[in-house]
A = this chain, B = another copy of it.
């Protein structure tokens, strides 16, 4: 029996957080940081360092790191990659440690540092994330990155998809209000085709289209392309003292 809650904006995290911190946080940013991190690890990157500020990301770039960076859908001038998952090909990232700093997604990694397990959930690794949550047997909080602290449908809908998938895999769930709403909604959009059609017209898709970035949408709404789950770890990397990364996403795969 797993409890599942949905925190619909990073700003609300303090109000959804429990005292014990004995839970699994699933950070979600479907368009596009979460899908991008998962893709980079799927294509052989050895670790992703999430960085909140542009200034800090630029220092990493200056110290020889490969940096993906974006603000308001625009690639940062010093960055090697933007935030589109299709840029993170095997050829480009295999064997590399990357730094990523995006508008919405990577800040979430800062605020959840106290949770027991922190992973990234995306539609491309939905079932693997469900298996991870079942294996850990801790309450699950889906932390939707949203858009500039506002609620975003596609991120919230992932909470519903996750609840439904956990049930399909044979585990019972108890959903709090928000997760329950989106579990019901997911019933209407639970295939790649329905999901893509539904999100076509939602706010975030329109923002992508306005910036000619909608080519990422079919990929970001694909289901179960990989078994890799990006898991936040808190080890000190071998970076220089100017780049004191103390946490990075590493790939884990079943069995968890």
Contacts and interface: CB of A to CB of B under 8 A. Distances in A.
Nearest to A184: B185
B202 A149 contact: no
Contacts of A180: 153, 202
Contacts of A153: 177-178, 180-181
Interface stretch (A7-15, A45-53, A77-85, A210-218): A7-15
Contacts of A202: 177, 180
Interface residues of A, number: 26
Contacts of A12: 9, 11-12, 149-151
B181 A150 contact: no
A234 interface: no
A256 interface: no
A204 B181 CA distance: 14
Interface in A140-180: 148-153, 156, 176-178, 180
30 contacts: A6-B151, A8-B9, A9-B9, A9-B12, A9-B15, A11-B11, A12-B12, A12-B149, A12-B150, A15-B148, A15-B150, A16-B150, A150-B178, A151-B177, A151-B178, A152-B177, A153-B180, A153-B181, A156-B181, A176-B203, A177-B202, A177-B203, A177-B204, A180-B202, A181-B181, A181-B182, A181-B185, A184-B185, A184-B188, A185-B185
The 6 A-B pairs with the shortest beta carbon distances in the complex, nearest first, are A15-B149, A153-B177, A177-B203, A151-B178, A15-B150, A177-B202
